[in-house]
Amino acid sequence: MQLETLGVSMARSMKSHKRYTVRHRETSSRRIESCYYAGDAFEARVLAMEVVPFIKAHPNSIEEIRCEEPKQV
- What the chain holds in terms of domains, given with CATH numbers, is 17-67 (3.10.20)
pLDDT at position 64: 98
pLDDT digits (tens, 9 = 90+) for 9-62: 555 566 789 999 999 999 999 999 999 999 999 999 999 999 999 999 999 999
Instruction: Answer whether residue 68 shows pLDDT above 70.
Output: yes
- What does pTM read for this prediction? 0.75
What does the alpha-carbon distance between residue 31 and residue 36 come to, in Å, rounded to a whole number? 17
Q: In what order do the strands lie in the sheet with 18-25?
A: 31-38, 18-25, 62-67
What does the alpha-carbon distance between residue 67 and residue 37 come to, in Å, rounded to a whole number? 10
For the chain, give the DSSP string: -HHHHHHHHHHHHHHT-EEEEEEEE-TTS-EEEEEEEESSHHHHHHHHHHH-HHHHH-GGGEEEEEE-SPPP-
